[in-house]
Amino acid sequence: MIIMSVDLGKARTGIAYSDKSESFAFPKTVITEYNTDRLVEKISAVANELSAELIVVGYPKNMDGSIGSRAEECKEIGEKIQAFSGKEVVMWDERCTTLSAHTALNFTDTRGKKRKNVVDAVAAVIILEDYLSYKRNVNGK
């Protein structure tokens, strides 16, 4: 099945997706939207375009594992995405994914405006890769 991941940000939201075999994660796009309702519509439209059956939304827990205000906001948006799209949504711990995305972009020497435009999609790829790895380990594949 195709799985889509979402890295929610205040201004930019990264989107990534898997292949049908759930082996690889690819960056799709970055959505720039401040209005939550329009953001939910745009995320749902991308999910439909990709024929995604599951949406994994980054859940930014605090480093100590507690749930802060941003995690609560993301959970509410995840619930709106599920209601609007009709697709199952899974909240996934995303601690340090943006930091990991910046590290990956350092290795590729991606700088400036290009970096700003792709970092959120790279973070979405990292979220999805983590989820796919977990799923493979749980299923013993």
Give the domains, in start order, of the chain with CATH numbers: 3-139 (3.30.420.140)
Confidence (pLDDT) at 61: 75
Return the residue matching tokens 């995690």: 71
Distance, CA of 65 to CA of 45 (rounded, Å):
32
Note the pLDDT of residue 111: 52
CA torsion angle for 49, 129, 26, 139 (degrees, to 10)?
Answer: -60
Q: Are 26 and 17 in contact (CB under 8 A)?
A: yes
- Residue 138 pLDDT: 78
Provide the H-helix boundaries in 4-68. 36-50
3-class SS at 57? Answer: strand
Gyration radius from the chain CA atoms:
14
Partners of 89 in beta bridges: 55
Q: Is the pTM of this model over 0.75?
A: yes
CB atoms within 10 A of CB 60: 21
Q: What is the pLDDT of residue 115?
A: 44
SS3 70: helix
Q: Per DSSP, what are the bridge partners of residue 90? A: 56
* Residue 117: closest CA among 126, 107, 105, 129: 105
Q: Can you give the pLDDT of all 141 residues of the chain as single tens digits?
A: 999 999 998 888 999 999 999 999 999 999 999 999 999 999 999 999 999 999 999 988 766 777 778 889 999 999 999 999 999 999 988 765 555 554 554 545 555 555 455 667 778 888 998 899 888 887 665
Q: Which helix (H) or strand (E) holds 131?
A: helix 112-139
